[in-house]
């Protein structure tokens, strides 16, 4: 008996995806993925959802009640702090010939580049735009009754390609729409300032408590001076005590965060993570 589901976390990629990105492929040959039309790769979660305890490899899925896709592998679920979020990865060759997708005037896709360390970003962008101008001139000649590229630009028409570092996408992107999730830099600054304010208050409170405690340790200080302790020895002792107390408090706080974060996520409906082992 067939089952149907409505899914939204679906995207397309070409055969270089698993070479460029480090998403672990749990089953299937990375170098052979997404080469053939009508092939698809699933996340672990979706493989378990659709096939339960069976192997999903070489089985089929029907999308939109029409096209059949062969499953050629499955990958580990996307980490919550990843720029890309999807559960289904279709072969790009399946859709390139649909709705003008194979034209340089199509804006349906994003292209990811891995540049050499010595590459000049401006030169790369210029070369891409030179290529796009040549392709655009052909399209204009066919689709707009022989209009030239110069005439198109003189009328205010533009088609330019831009590049931005992947690490800038989440907080520094100036794109209106992006394939990945984007955050709000103003919120980060706001919460950062609140955190600094709380730390300042805690520091002032700590100094007040230390001052109050020092009155009770006057006898200890006096005895140490009589026994030959120098001022630097006393300062070092109290500073070491303060550092150890701060480190202990930090570790206790970190333990409480790890312990309570799942309950906080369940309460708020969020998926906050503590990226200790996977910071990017």
With beta carbons less than 8 A apart as the criterion, state whether 41 and 87 touch: no
Q: Does the reported pTM lie above 0.75?
A: no
Tens of pLDDT along the chain (280 residues) come to 567 778 888 888 888 888 888 888 888 888 888 888 889 999 988 988 888 878 878 888 888 777 888 999 889 888 777 888 889 999 888 877 665 666 777 777 888 888 888 989 889 999 988 888 888 888 777 777 778 888 888 888 888 888 888 888 888 777 777 776 777 888 889 999 999 999 999 888 888 887 777 767 777 777 777 777 777 877 788 788 888 988 998 899 999 998 998 888 888 767 777 766 554 4
Question: What's 204's DSSP letter?
Answer: H
Structure confidence at residue 195 (pLDDT): 92
Q: Which residue has the tokens 């550092």?
A: 243
Tokens of 144: 């707009």
With beta carbons less than 8 A apart as the criterion, state whether 10 and 88 touch: yes
């Amino acid at each position: 008996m067939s089952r149907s589901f409505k899914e939204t976390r679906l995207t397309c990629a070409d055969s270089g995806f698993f070479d460029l990105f480090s998403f672990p492929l749990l089953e299937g040959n990375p170098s052979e993925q997404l080469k053939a039309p009508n092939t698809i790769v699933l996340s672990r979660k979706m493989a378990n959802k659709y096939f339960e305890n069976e192997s999903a490899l070489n089985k089929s899925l029907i999308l939109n009640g029409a096209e059949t896709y062969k499953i050629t592998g499955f990958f580990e679920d996307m980490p919550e702090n990843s720029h890309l979020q999807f559960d289904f990865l279709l072969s790009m060759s399946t859709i390139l010939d649909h709705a003008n997708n194979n034209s340089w005037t199509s804006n349906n896709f994003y292209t990811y580049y891995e540049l050499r360390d010595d590459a000049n970003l401006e030169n790369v962008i210029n070369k891409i735009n030179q290529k796009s101008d040549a392709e655009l001139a052909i399209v204009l000649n066919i689709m707009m009754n022989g209009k030239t590229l110069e005439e198109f630009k003189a009328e205010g028409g533009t088609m330019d390609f831009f590049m931005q570092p992947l690490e800038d996408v989440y907080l520094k992107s100036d794109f209106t729409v992006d394939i990945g999730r984007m955050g709000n830099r103003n919120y980060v600054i706001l919460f950062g300032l609140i955190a600094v304010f709380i730390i300042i208050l805690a520091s002032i409170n700590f100094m007040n408590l230390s001052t109050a405690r020092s009155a009770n340790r006057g006898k200890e200080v006096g005895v140490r001076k009589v026994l030959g302790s120098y001022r630097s020895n006393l300062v070092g002792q109290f500073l070491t005590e303060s550092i150890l107390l701060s480190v202990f408090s930090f570790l206790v706080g970190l333990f409480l965060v790890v312990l309570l974060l799942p309950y906080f996520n369940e309460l708020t409906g969020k998926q906050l993570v503590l990226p200790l082992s996977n910071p990017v």
